[in-house]
Amino acid sequence: MECKPDLRDHTATLSPRVALKRPDLAARISYADRRRLFLILMALPALAYVVAVGVWPLTKGLWFSLYDYNLLKPTRTHFVGLRNYADVLGDSVTRQAFFNTIVFTVSAVAAELVLGFAIALALWRDDRFNRVCLALILIPVTITPLVVGLIFRALLMPDYGLIGYYLAEYGFSGPRGLFADGPSALATLIFIDIWEWTPLVALILLAGLKALPVDILEAARADGATALQRLRMVIIPLMAPSIVLAVMLRTIDAFRIFDSIFVTTGGGPGNATNSLMLHAVKQGLEFFNIGLASAIANVTLLCIAVFATVFVILFRQADRRAHGS
C-alpha cells in the first residue's frame, strides 16, 4: 500500500530556533506604523484628485504664460519669458478690468457685511420664527450665480422685464435698461451679488453670535451697559474672528467674479463691467491667445493668494484677542 506524504503545516516540525526566524509580518509592524500606512492609503485618492484637478492645471497655466501660444497658430509657439506679464500690466483694458474688479469686490463685500450683520442680529434669538426666516433667506445661496444672472437679466430687460419695463417707463433707467449704461450696469451687478451672498455672510455671523459666551453678555448687561455699548465694546470684539472669516471668503469669491457678468453684460458696455476673470476667458476662448490669458489668470491668482494670506494673519490675530491669548 502506497503511503501518501503528510500535507500538514511543516512549521510544526521545525525546531524552535528555525520557527523564530519566520515571524508573522503583522507582528513585525507596529500598530502606529499600520495606522500611518492606512491613513496614507486613504489619502492617496484625494491627493491624486488635487494633483489632477488643481496642481497640474496651475502648472500648465504657468508654463503657457511664458510662451507666445495662440491656438490659431499652434506651430509658431516660442518662449517669450515674462513678456506676457509685461503686456498685462501695460494693457489699458486689463487695468480697467482690474479697477472694475476692485470696485465690485470692495462695494459688494462691504454691503454684504453690514447687511449680513444686521440680519444675524435680528435672527440671534433662537425661536421657531427666526429659524423659518433663516431657512427662507438662504434660498438665494442655493442658486448658482449663472442662473441668478439669467434671472436678473430677464427681470431687468427694458422691453419685457417684470422690473426693467417699469424702471424704463417711469424714467428710473435709460430706454435701453440698466445694463446699457456703465455706472448703472456695474451698480446692478453689485446689487445682484449682494442679493445672492448676503445670506451666507449672515449665516456665518449668526454662528459666531450663537457661540458668544453668555456670562460675559449678562455681566455687561448687569453693569448697566446699553445695547449699543454691548454691541460696540463686547459683541463686535468677540465677533472679530467670524467677521474676518466672512470677509475673507467673500473677498476671495467676489474677486474672481465671472458668471453673472458673463450672462448679463458680457463685460459691457465697452469695458465698463469687465472683470479680470472675464478678460482672461475672452483672451483665451475668443481671441485664442492662451499665453496672455494664462498670464491674466496667474495675476488674478496671485492677488487672491495675497488677500488670503493677509486675511489668515488677521484671523489669527483676531482669534488670539477674542480668546485672550
Q: Is 77 part of any domain?
A: no
Q: Which residue has the higher pLDDT, 294 or 34?
A: 294
Q: Are 175 and 161 in contact (CB under 8 A)?
A: no
**pTM for the whole thing?**
0.84
What sign does the dihedral 18-20-24-28 (CA atoms) show? negative
Among 208, 164, 207, 183, residue whose Cα is nearest residue 107:
183
Total count of domains within the chain: 1
Q: Does some domain include residue 75?
A: no
- Supply angle C-alpha 294, 279, 62, rounded to 5: 10
Return d(Cα 94, Cα 115) in angstroms, integer.
31
pLDDT tens string 119-130: 999 998 888 888
3-state SS record for 141-198: HHCCHHHHHHHHHHHHCCCCCCCHHHHHHCCCCCCCCHHHCHHHHHHHHHHHHHHHHH
Which range of residues forms the domain containing residue 174?
A: 91-322
Is it the case that residue 19 has pLDDT exceeding 50? no
More confident residue, 216 or 148: 148
**Does residue 195 belong to any structural domain of this protein?**
yes
Tell whether 29 is covered by a domain. Answer: no
98-146 pLDDT, tens digit each: 999 999 999 999 999 999 999 999 998 888 888 898 889 999 999 999 9
Average pLDDT over residues 10-18: 49
Residue with cell string 472669516: 245
Helix, strand, or coil here: 211?
A: coil
Query: Does some domain include residue 50?
Result: no
pLDDT > 70: what percent of the chain? 91
Looking at the domain assignment, is residue 64 inside a domain? no
CATH number for the domain harbouring residue 284: 1.10.3720.10
Q: What was the pLDDT predicted at 6?
A: 52
80 is a domain residue: no
